[in-house]
């Protein structure tokens, strides 16, 4: 079994080297590892850092000419993945790569083709985003997550606890024939929506999470990306 780990990178020079180190060192047991770095023409030196990994075994480094959004970078990564299982990994340190084994286990055991790493299972929704010095943004983000989950329950009849999680893990076979279109953070919603429409329901497993604030580099735009994600959930229920 081979696991493709897609890492979209844009202006994350402070954390990029450390997350790469952790990804290279994480134990996946007998599974082979393929690391796909998609660098989106950062202005903080990430491109120069990414060049250092071009000759690393089991690594692909792809350079975008300009930053087209996280969704665009992830789509490029998916189109270049050769693994049986695909994991999406941000270039920051909010999530713990040691959860990989837990994430791929339901797929390896043949229980599902799609896993979501839920930040809320066993912890409660209000603990997942506690942005330092920004209680209002924390409140809005947490309420937004609840709205997304409720929208999926109403439109798709599927109950989930954390659809906005970065840890989306799925088989490469499950996305065959699906054309993804999103260029921004709304790709998260598009992936879930289109796999659900294909009859593939996710299994949720709890994962670790330590939120960073906007001052620390968080990039999601609450109003713009929140609206786009909600619209994607609705739109892809009715169109391809």
Give me the DSSP letters along 200-236.
-PPEEEE--B----TTTT----HHHHHHHHHHHHHHH
Residues lower than pLDDT 50 in the chain: none
Q: What share of the chain is helix, strand, coil (3-state, %, to 5)?
A: 40, 15, 45
CA distance 120 to 137: 18
pLDDT at 214: 56
Per domain, the residue ranges of the chain are: 2-238
Residue 157 CB neighbours (<10 A): 9
pLDDT at 136: 75
pLDDT at 123: 65
Residue 194: both structure tokens together: 């289109």
pLDDT at 218: 65
pLDDT at 211: 76
pLDDT at 124: 60
pLDDT at 221: 75
Q: CA-CA distances (angstroms) from residue 46 to 17, 125, 160, 206?
A: 9, 33, 35, 30
pLDDT at 217: 59
Question: What is the maximum span of the chain, computed from C-alpha positions, in angstroms?
Answer: 48
Q: What angle do CA 81, 9, 33 make, to 5 degrees?
A: 35
Topology at the third CATH level for domain 2-238: Spore Coat Polysaccharide Biosynthesis Protein SpsA; Chain A (3.90.550)
pLDDT at 140: 75
**Residue 115 near residue 104, CB atoms below 8 Å:** yes
Give the 3-state DSSP-derived string for 185-205, with helices as H, strands as E and coil as C.
Answer: CCHHHHHHHHHHHCCCCCEEE
């Amino acid at each position: 079994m081979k696991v493709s780990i897609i890492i979209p990178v844009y202006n994350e020079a402070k954390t990029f080297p450390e997350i790469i180190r952790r990804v290279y060192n994480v134990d996946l047991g007998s599974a082979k590892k393929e690391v796909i770095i998609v660098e989106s023409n950062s202005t903080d030196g990430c491109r120069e850092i990414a060049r250092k990994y071009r000759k690393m075994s089991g690594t692909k480094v792809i350079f975008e000419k300009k930053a087209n959004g996280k969704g665009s970078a992830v789509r490029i990564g998916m189109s270049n993945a050769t693994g049986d299982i695909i994991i999406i990994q941000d270039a920051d340190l909010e999530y713990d790569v040691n959860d990989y084994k837990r994430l791929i286990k339901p797929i390896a055991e043949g229980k599902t083709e799609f896993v979501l790493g839920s930040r809320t299972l066993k912890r409660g929704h209000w603990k997942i985003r506690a942005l330092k010095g920004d209680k209002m943004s924390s409140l809005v983000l947490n309420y937004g997550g609840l709205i997304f989950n409720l929208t999926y329950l109403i439109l798709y009849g599927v109950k989930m606890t954390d659809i906005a999680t970065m840890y989306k893990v799925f088989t490469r076979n499950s996305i065959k024939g699906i054309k993804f279109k999103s260029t921004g953070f709304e790709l998260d919603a598009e992936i879930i929506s289109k796999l659900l429409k294909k009859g593939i329901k996710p299994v949720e497993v709890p994962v670790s999470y330590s939120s960073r604030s906007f001052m620390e580099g968080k990039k999601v735009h609450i109003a713009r990306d929140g609206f786009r994600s909600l619209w994607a959930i609705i739109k892809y229920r009715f169109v391809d």
